[in-house]
Structure 1
Amino acid sequence: MIRIAIVEDEMKYQEQLIEFLRRFEREKGENIEIETYSDGDEFVENYRAQFDIILMDVQMRFMDGMSAAEEIRKMDSEVVIIFITNLAQYAIKGYAVDALDYVLKPISYFQFSERLHRAVDRMKKRDVQFITIKIKGGVQRFNIADIYFVESQGHNLIFSSKQGEFIASGTMKELENQLSSFHFFRGHKGYLINLEHVEGMNDSCAIVRGKELLVSRNKRKAFMEALSNYWGEVIK
């Protein structure tokens, strides 16, 4: 399933893009789910990092495509963005928001299918897994491998990641269940640790990115076994 958003305020282009996507779907044997939006403001307001590819008109009322893309990038660094535009100079600005490509109006199917094929290839070659977390003011999509550890503080979860620290709502138990198949271990009620980023151990703590995280005495043996299995060697 490829999830694609069309963000376009001209109905004739919305309809044309849907028609082209269905043709591409038949020709390539893909399964495409499509959602349409008529303005960048509406799209950003409803964005939950739920798409693989965004087809974004540059010139729209209320919020233009470039501004919308800037807001999207704050929440989602991985979604593939293709700009739809009348003028090539607008598309050049797309590199600032890591846009993959652009399609010039009027749109031809050949031009469109070439760009879309490239986008689908890029999407499929990403050998990563993502998790989308509700944070204050919106959502954040994480590459799971980029999460170092998660700390429970009261009713909040503090994500320590490659992108920095983020505060999310939810319970540690729910998150533990979500990440159970991704080499995370709850060595203490207050910490969920990504074994990929464990640098070592001392008597009572796991060392993750230079920080000491307490491992409970009753979980130390299981933690060491899990870490040993992950590293592929016996830790003594």
Structure 2
Amino acid sequence: MLRIAVVEDESIYQEQLLDYLQKFQKENQVSLDVETFTDGDQFINKYDAQFDIILMDVQMPLMDGMSAAEEIRKIDTKVVIIFITNMAQYAIKGYAVDALDYVLKPITYFAFSERLNKAIHRLDKKEAKYLAVKVKSGYTRIVVSDIYYIESQGHKLMLMTKDGEIESSGAIKDIEKELNDDPFFRIHRGYLVNLAHVEAVKDQGAVVKGEELPISRARRKPLMEALVDQWNM
């Protein structure tokens, strides 16, 4: 399912975009989860890297689309942004915030569907699933397959990834639930490992990228079964 945000203050255009999204969904047999916002300020206050695509009006009260996009890029470099505007010169500035493209008002379905297909193609090309985690500066998105393991340290979560260590906050059980559809296994109350990165299982622990992590006695057999399933995929 694709998560799409529509950030548009004019009700006539917001309704038109929703109609176009519904039509696009039926024509292309894709599942869309759409949420609407009427101002950039309202959107930023609720943003935590939860969307795949943002359809953003440029001219809005309180906070315009360009300023909102600048704030988004501080915490989310992966989301696809498409600007909706009636002035092409505004859209050109979008390249500064890595906007994918823009759609000019009045909006035609052809132009809209063309840009949306382009956005979906970019997402498909990435072929990656992301996990949004809270960090000191806001939120960041991590490619799930790049996570080696997650360690719980009290109220802190340490995510060991391909790009290094990332400190977050929260409960390991919550992140385990979020990664339920991915090849992760809780080998110990304090460790959640990515089965794809488990190199070996020894007497005292599981070896993940050269590190030996403790395995609870009760979880050793289920871990071995999960690894067999993973290796046979």
TM over 0.5: yes
Task: Give unmatched runs, 5+ long, in structure 2.
Answer: none
Most deviating of 91-100 and 218-227:
218-227
* Maintained 8 Å contact 1:204/1:216: no
**CA RMSD, Structure 1 to Structure 2 (Å):** 3.4
Runs (4 or more) in structure 1 with deviation over 6 Å come to none
User: What amino acid is aligned across from residue 8 of structure 1 in structure 2?
Assistant: E
User: What amino acid is aligned across from residue 168 of structure 1 in structure 2?
Assistant: S
> TM-score normalised to the size of structure 2?
0.76
Task: Give unmatched runs, 5+ long, in structure 1.
Answer: none
> Is it true that 1:167 corresponds to 2:148 in the alignment?
no
* Maintained 8 Å contact 2:156/2:167: no
User: What amino acid is aligned across from residue 168 of structure 2 in structure 1?
Assistant: I
Matched residue, 1:176:
176
Matched residue, 2:88:
88
Instruction: Give the Cα separation in 2 of the matches to 1:28 and 1:192.
Output: 37
User: What amino acid is aligned across from residue 167 of structure 1 in structure 2?
Assistant: S
Most deviating of 202-211 and 78-87:
202-211
Instruction: Give the Cα separation in 1 of the matches to 2:69 and 2:21.
Output: 21
Deviations 1:112-156 (A, max 9, x none): 221123224444566444444455675554432232211111133
* Maintained 8 Å contact 1:135/1:169: no
Deviations 1:47-70 (A, max 9, x none): 244433211122333323233223
Matched residue, 2:46:
46
> TM-score normalised to the size of structure 1?
0.75
Question: Counterparts of 1:126-141 in structure 2 under 5 Å?
Answer: 127-133=127-133, 139-141=139-141
User: What amino acid is aligned across from residue 165 of structure 1 in structure 2?
Assistant: I
Matched residue, 1:64:
64
Deviations 1:154-179 (A, max 9, x none): 13322233465031212x33433443
Instruction: Give the Cα separation in 1 of the matches to 2:7 and 2:72.
Output: 12
Does the residue aligned with 2:182 lie in a helix, a strand or coil?
A: coil
* Maintained 8 Å contact 1:159/1:168: no
- Give the CA deviation at 1:26: 5.0
Residues 174 and 43 of structure 1, relative CA distance in 2, 3 Å threshold: closer
Instruction: Give the Cα separation in 2 of the matches to 1:198 and 1:94.
Output: 42
> Is it true that 1:192 corresponds to 2:198 in the alignment?
no
User: What amino acid is aligned across from residue 53 of structure 1 in structure 2?
Assistant: I
- Give the CA deviation at 1:191: 1.1
Instruction: Give the Cα separation in 2 of the matches to 1:43 and 1:177.
Output: 26
Matched residue, 1:37:
37
Matched residue, 2:119:
119
Matched residue, 2:156:
156
Residues 24 and 199 of structure 1, relative CA distance in 2, 3 Å threshold: same
Instruction: Give the Cα separation in 1 of the matches to 2:28 and 2:232.
Output: 40
- Give the CA deviation at 1:194: 0.8
* Maintained 8 Å contact 1:44/1:68: yes
- Give the CA deviation at 1:183: 1.9
Instruction: Give the Cα separation in 1 of the matches to 2:120 and 2:200.
Output: 39
Residues 182 and 6 of structure 1, relative CA distance in 2, 3 Å threshold: closer
Residues 109 and 159 of structure 1, relative CA distance in 2, 3 Å threshold: same
- Give the CA deviation at 1:71: 3.0
Residues 19 and 186 of structure 1, relative CA distance in 2, 3 Å threshold: closer
Residues 188 and 10 of structure 1, relative CA distance in 2, 3 Å threshold: same
Does the residue aligned with 1:35 lie in a helix, a strand or coil?
A: strand
> Is it true that 1:101 corresponds to 2:101 in the alignment?
yes
* Maintained 8 Å contact 1:133/1:139: yes
